[in-house]
């Protein structure tokens, strides 16, 4: 195995990598070129890794990355629709990144063996994070940690999740949780994330008002204002 990989992770995958436990058995779902698995393997940060994808094209690219970096003993590429071809004993930490929140929810919901606090999920939705955050507590999964990161001109969040019905119930009861999760206004990326969520809510609020549905708009506008306040607090603006 080479001491260094011939690539670096971008901020988005780098944040996901920071949530992975040292020495775990990793399953990276939707692995594309297997950069995350190989990057961790080159640092001896994982015991083993499966780079899984539903398409043969990305898997071919993954196998080339694995071979080029000399980590065949630690990383394998596997054809899998979500977690369907992954056995429970093969994965302690599961990364599902770079896809829509609704698809991530479907993948998690199809694998009942994830319902134990011993299994850690690192989830990074590209879209529909709100839908994912609604699904998780309903299914008994709680977000333990969540951070925002900027990559190019977009801002993403990545969340560390495990099965914890009690904590999940608390998150399910929070009306703001689907819109910002555990992201705070501390740091530039966190503040940008909250501001963008608030801007998205403003469009929805205006649309509801224009269509004569002010009662539906009111609670969303209250959440919008709270997100703006949290973003402002993150800059010290209320101190």
Q: Is 162 in the same domain as 203? A: no
For the chain, helix, strand, coil in percent to 5 are 45, 20, 30
Q: Is 117 in the same domain as 223? A: no
**CATH code at position 121:** 3.40.50.150
Name every residue whose Cβ is closer than 8 Å to that of residue 225 and which is 6 or more positions away in sequence. Answer: none
Answer whether residue 239 is part of any domain. Answer: no
Q: Is 171 in the same domain as 220? A: no
What's the pTM value of the predicted model, to 2 decimals? 0.94
Q: Is 194 in the same domain as 161? A: no
Find the helix or strand (DSSP H, E) in which 163 lies.
strand 154-163
pLDDT of residue 65: 95
Answer whether residue 2 is part of any domain. Answer: no
Q: Tell me which of 180, 196, 215 is where a domain ends.
A: 180
Q: Is 42 in the same domain as 99? A: yes
Query: By the 8 A CB rule, do 118 and 91 touch?
Result: no
Q: Is 22 in the same domain as 42? A: yes
Burial bucket for residue 101 (CB in 10 Å: 0-12, 13-18, 19+): buried
Number of domains in the chain: 2
Query: By the 8 A CB rule, do 201 and 223 touch?
Result: yes
pLDDT of residue 235: 60
Q: Is 50 in the same domain as 138? A: yes
pLDDT of residue 127: 96
pLDDT of residue 5: 60
Q: Is 163 in the same domain as 196? A: no
* Segments forming the whole domain that contains residue 119: 11-180
Burial bucket for residue 210 (CB in 10 Å: 0-12, 13-18, 19+): exposed
Tens digit of each residue's pLDDT, the chain (239 residues)? 444 566 889 999 999 999 999 999 999 999 989 999 999 999 999 999 999 999 999 999 999 999 999 999 999 999 999 999 999 999 999 999 999 999 999 999 999 999 999 999 999 999 999 999 999 999 999 999 999 999 999 999 999 999 999 999 999 999 999 999 999 999 999 999 999 999 999 999 999 999 999 999 999 999 999 999 999 987 644 33
Q: Is 107 in the same domain as 68? A: yes
């Amino acid at each position: 195995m080479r001491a260094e990989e011939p690539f670096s992770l971008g901020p988005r995958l780098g944040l996901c990598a920071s949530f992975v436990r040292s020495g775990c058995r990793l399953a990276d779902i939707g692995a594309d070129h297997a950069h995350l698995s190989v990057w961790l393997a080159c640092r001896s940060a994982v015991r083993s890794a499966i780079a899984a994808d539903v398409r043969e094209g990305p898997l071919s690219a993954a196998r080339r990355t694995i071979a080029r970096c000399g980590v065949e003993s630690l990383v394998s590429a596997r054809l899998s629709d979500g977690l369907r071809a992954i056995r429970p004993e093969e994965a302690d930490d599961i990364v599902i990144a770079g896809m829509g929140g609704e698809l991530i929810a479907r993948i998690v919901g199809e694998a009942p063996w994830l319902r134990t606090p011993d299994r850690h999920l690192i989830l990074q939705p590209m879209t529909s994070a709100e839908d994912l955050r609604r699904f998780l507590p309903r299914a008994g999964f709680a977000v333990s940690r969540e951070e925002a990161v900027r990559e190019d001109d977009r801002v993403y969040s990545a969340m560390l999740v495990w099965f914890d019905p009690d904590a999940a119930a608390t998150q399910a009861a929070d009306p703001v949780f689907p819109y910002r999760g555990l992201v705070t206004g501390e740091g530039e990326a966190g503040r940008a994330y909250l501001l963008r969520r608030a801007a998205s809510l403003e469009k929805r609020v205006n649309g509801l008002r224009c269509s004569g549905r002010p009662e539906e708009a009111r609670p969303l506008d209250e959440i919008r204002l709270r997100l703006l306040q949290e973003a402002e607090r993150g800059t010290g603006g209320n101190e």
